[in-house]
Amino acid sequence: MNQDNENWDLIIQEKSKLFDLRLKEVWRYRDLLQLFVLRNFIAGYKQTILGPLWFFIQPILTTITFTIIFGNLAKISTDGAPKFVFYMAGITIWNYFAVCLTDVSNVFQSNASIFGKVYFPRLIMPLTTIVSHLMRFFIQYILFLCFIVYFYLKGLVHPNLWVIFIPFILLIMAILSLGLGLILSSLTTKYRDLSMLISFGIQLFMYASPVIYPVSTVPEKYLWLVQINPLAPIFEYMRFAYLGVGHFNPLSLIYSFLFSVFILAIGVVIFNKVQKTFMDTV
């Protein structure tokens, strides 16, 4: 039979063009994405004693530590908001960004065995990480809302209608962490020691972002550093919307969104180029 006359359901070809991203192919594999998300959620906690309770324990212990060290000992201003929910507002959204960035940056090394055995769009794995951690975020977000309700009933926080924009905030964090993670994952295929610096770098980035301090406490000569940080408007939004403190400029979120989309575009292009040869270096 002439091979040219056969009707194939799927033809796998080498990507020869830099911008040959084949995003439609990723959509066709959405069922595989769902399976990987479920696998990650179950496998991550099935052999732990407390299981998903770690989703609650980690932010609470971190918030208590920040309250004692930065709030009580260092006396860092919280713009008049209760210290506990001030730090939890930053930690809740930061945890999602940090864990997504860390896991996406290691996607080639952690999934090398799968990539080497079966074909599917490699972008599925980074997307799996982003979606998987959404479950963790929503659990911690519900915990955060419980504390907001408690302090609201005591008259200590003043939420407003800006809280309805949390899906847009989450979208920005997902896009930015995915884009940066794709760039870093492409670099770690050649430079293994870079992966050892990622966790340390993320911690430094947290202190460079207004997670544990409000922008109002930043000296004027360093304010420009905060203003170019795409994460800064996110944390100011969280405190303004849920606690009613701080100064929030809605236009700053547009900057964060556009910056995140730009980084994602660069990340996808680089990832698309590296995935063709990564098995030779991982």
What string of DSSP letters covers 192-258?
THHHHHHHHHHHHHHHHTTTSS-GGGS-GGGHHHHHT-TTHHHHHHHHHHHH--S---HHHHHHHHH
What integer pLDDT is reported at residue 9 of this predicted model? 55
* 3-state secondary structure (DSSP) of residue 86: helix
What integer pLDDT is reported at residue 19 of this predicted model? 47
What integer pLDDT is reported at residue 259 of this predicted model? 96
The one-letter amino acid at 274: V
Distance CA 12, CA 132 (A): 28
DSSP state of 71: I
What integer pLDDT is reported at residue 239 of this predicted model? 95
How much of the chain, in percent, has pLDDT values that exceed 70?
82
Q: Exposed, middle or buried by CB within 10 Å (0-12, 13-18, 19+), for 207?
A: exposed
Start-to-end CA span in the chain (Å) = 40
* 3-state secondary structure (DSSP) of residue 60: helix
User: Domains of the chain: which residue ranges?
Assistant: 50-280
Q: What is the pLDDT of residues 92-109, one digit of tens each?
A: 999 999 999 998 888 877
Residue labelled with tokens 């208590």: 64
Please compute the mean of the pLDDT values over residues 137-163 and round it to a whole number.
94
Distance CA 76, CA 11 (A): 59
Distance CA 60, CA 66 (A): 10
Distance CA 133, CA 233 (A): 22
| Confidence band of 159 (pLDDT split at 50, 70, 90) | very high
- Asked if residue 166 has pLDDT above 90, the reply is yes
